[in-house]
């Protein structure tokens, strides 16, 4: 065996005296040496900057914080909180500003005890721990979630957050539900599955099995870290483009069946007529857009204004956003921020020169299926009455007063 020259050991098994001295010497010089490399920076006392125009810094920390000058906040009620859409420069919603909708509060679930049961019309009913879910090949995708009841109006003094803040976007990571369905062996006659959460809410949803084979994800990651408790920690069902309520949080059970379950949300009380027929199981979120700048309560000045906003569709990609600055008489194509992702918030911008006259600005999206965002009149005519409620995605307008004040146009029709 080759002798290690650095570690000379004498016959008694003790390290030589020379070796010890050398080691002590090396230890003594180490802090000095590393202070040059910056490794022991925290030992250097803070020095006030000699140049008074420079600003004294604070040391780095374990968790980052926002600038004290930036205070974006959700607007919360007992059952939901809304994202501050007007405060975002682009389309990823910071996780702590993601909208929330809860029917029985946010349960605190121990990831060690978490289990997802998949049973019903399967060859092998199985329970998956969180660790099991993470062993499967993972998948990451950016998409929006929107509550089907996302639309408020009624007065001019409303922000984008108040009007439409029940939508947000994250980059989600998890395992494709199709991967798990192959694992349990789904019966060929299966047509639906039931998704159940571990919270106290009576919210279970029946989902056509095609969505599971297509793009459903059991998500445990949100914007690069573990999903937030409010978003369903440790795992939720993610159905890109579909009504918020089908994205069952704290997912604990999936039951495969050949028919829907007609749970509470799936009875006629929670559905509405379209052309005289009850519209049930309307899963996809229709395309919509909103200008987030300028918006209430901002004040603008005459001259160049970059009109900005977000557009999205639950059916695929946004292909066009048009902006009108003359109350809908003429329309201009806005620029779409690339990359445009399917079933995702898409940022649009349109440069406009305001001449100072009172006007109305609005946006209208077209998606890849050719669907064009309707006016409120078109929506109401199709449904027979302005009943509000779910799936209300009309074009929305802002009025710009001569003094530059921006107000929401709270339309009501019939
Ligand atoms: N288990 C469970 N899942 C749930 C809900 C709930 O109350 N319990 N609310 C649903 C509704 S109505 C919506 S809009 C979305 C909201 O998702 P978010 O809170 O992550 O934004 O979660 C859905 N999933
Ligand atoms: Mo919702």
Give the per-residue pLDDT at 219: 99
Region of poorest pLDDT, from 14-18, 89-93, 269-273: 14-18
pLDDT of residue 380: 87
Nearest CA to ligand 1 atom 16: 101
Neighbours of ion ligand 2 (CB under 5 A): 101, 147, 244-245
| pLDDT number for residue 20 | 43
319-352 tens-digit pLDDT: 999 999 999 999 999 999 999 999 999 999 999 9
CB atoms within 10 A of CB 99: 27
Give every CB contact of residue 271 below 8 A, 6+ residues apart in sequence: 278, 279, 280, 282
Q: Looking at residues 131-158, what average pLDDT do you find?
A: 97
The model's confidence at residue 261, banded by pLDDT at 50, 70 and 90, is confident
Residue 241 confidence class, pLDDT cut points 50, 70, 90? very high
- Helix (H, G, I), strand (E, B), or coil: what is residue 153? coil
What are the structural domains, with CATH classification, of the chain? 75-279 (3.90.420.10), 288-408 (2.60.40.650)
SS3 199: coil
What is the pLDDT, as a whole number, of residue 97? Answer: 98
Cβ burial 108-128 (10 Å sphere, 16+ → b, else e): ebeeeebebbbebbbeeebeb
Query: Taking all residues of the chain, what is their mean pLDDT, rounded to a whole number?
Result: 88
The predicted structure's pLDDT at residue 272: 52
Region label for 16, one of left (φ > 0), alpha (ψ between -120 and 50) or beta (otherwise):
beta
Q: Cα(101) to centroid of ligand 2, in Å?
A: 6
Closest atom of ligand 1 to CA, residue 250: 1
Expressed in angstroms and rounded, the spacing between residue 352 Cα and the centre of ligand 1 is 38
Measured from CB, residues less than 6 Å from any atom of ligand 1 are 98-103, 145, 147, 197, 199, 201, 203, 230-231, 244-245, 247-250
Q: What is the model's pTM? A: 0.87
Structure tokens at 163: 């009007």
Top pLDDT among 332 and 25 is at: 332
65 φ/ψ angles, rounded to the nearest 5 degrees = -135, 165
pLDDT at residue 29, as a whole number: 43
Residue 233 burial (CB count, 10 A): 21
Give per-residue pLDDT as tens, 50-69: 888 998 888 999 999 999 99
pLDDT band at residue 75 under the 50/70/90 scheme: very high
Considering only residues 407 and 384, tell me which one the structure prediction assigns the higher pLDDT.
407
pLDDT digits (tens, 9 = 90+) for 288-320: 999 999 999 999 999 999 999 999 999 999 999
The DSSP symbol for 189 reads T
Q: How far apart are the first and last CA of the chain?
A: 95
Residue 383 Cα to ligand 2 midpoint, Å, equals 21
Q: Which whole number is the average pLDDT over 139-147?
A: 98
Output the residue whose Cα is nearest ligand 1's atom 21. 100
* For the CA of 101, the nearest ligand: 1
What per-residue confidence (pLDDT) applies to 279?
Answer: 55
Name which residue sits closest to atom 24 of ligand 1, judged by CA: 248
Residue 306 is predicted with a pLDDT of 98
Mutate to test the pocket of ligand 1, among 76, 102, 166, 221 (most ligand atoms within 8 A of CB): 102
pLDDT one-digit tens code per residue, 211-223: 999 999 999 999 9
Over the stretch 176-209, which tens digit does the pLDDT of each residue have? 999 999 999 999 999 999 999 999 987 788 999 9
CA distance 386 to 249: 31
């Amino acid at each position: 065996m080759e002798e290690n020259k650095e570690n000379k050991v004498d016959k008694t098994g003790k390290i030589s005296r020379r070796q010890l001295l050398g080691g002590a010497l090396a230890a003594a010089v180490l802090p000095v040496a590393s202070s040059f490399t910056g490794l022991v920076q925290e030992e250097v006392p803070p020095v006030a900057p000699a140049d008074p125009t420079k600003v004294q810094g604070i040391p780095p920390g374990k968790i980052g914080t926002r600038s004290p000058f930036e205070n974006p906040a959700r607007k919360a009620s007992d059952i939901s909180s809304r994202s501050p859409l007007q405060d975002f420069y682009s389309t990823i919603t910071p996780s702590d500003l993601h909208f929330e909708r809860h029917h029985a509060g946010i349960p605190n679930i121990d990831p060690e005890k978490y289990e997802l049961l998949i049973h019903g019309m399967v060859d092998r009913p199985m329970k998956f721990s969180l660790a099991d879910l993470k062993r499967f090949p993972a998948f990451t995708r950016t998409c929006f979630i929107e509550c089907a009841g996302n639309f408020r109006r009624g007065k001019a003094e409303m922000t984008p957050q108040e009007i439409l803040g029940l939508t947000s976007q994250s980059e989600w990571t998890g395992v494709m539900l199709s991967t798990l369905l192959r694992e349990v062996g789904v019966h060929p006659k299966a047509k639906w599955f039931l998704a159940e959460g571990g919270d106290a809410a009576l919210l279970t949803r029946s989902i056509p099995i095609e969505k599971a084979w297509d793009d459903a994800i059991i998500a445990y990651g949100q914007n690069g870290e573990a999903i937030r408790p409010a978003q369903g920690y440790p795992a939720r069902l993610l159905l890109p483009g579909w009504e918020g309520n089908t994205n069952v949080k704290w997912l604990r059970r999936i039951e495969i069946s050949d028919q829907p379950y007609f749970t509470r949300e799936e009875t006629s009380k929670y559905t509405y007529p379209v052309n005289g027929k009850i519209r049930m199981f309307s899963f996809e979120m229709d395309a919509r857009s909103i200008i987030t700048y300028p918006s209430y309560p901002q004040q603008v000045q005459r001259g160049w204004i970059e009109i900005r906003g977000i557009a999205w569709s639950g059916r695929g990609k946004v292909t066009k956003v048009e902006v009108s600055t003359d109350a809908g008489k003429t329309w201009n194509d806005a620029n779409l921020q690339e990359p445009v992702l399917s079933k995702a918030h898409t940022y649009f911008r349109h440069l406009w020169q305001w001449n100072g006259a009172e006007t109305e600005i609005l946006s209208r999206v077209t998606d890849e299926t050719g669907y064009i965002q309707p006016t409120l009149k078109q929506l109401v005519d199709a449904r027979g009455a302005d009943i509000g409620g779910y799936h209300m995605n009309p074009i929305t307008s802002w009025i710009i007063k001569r003094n530059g004040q921006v107000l929401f146009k709270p339309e009501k029709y019939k």
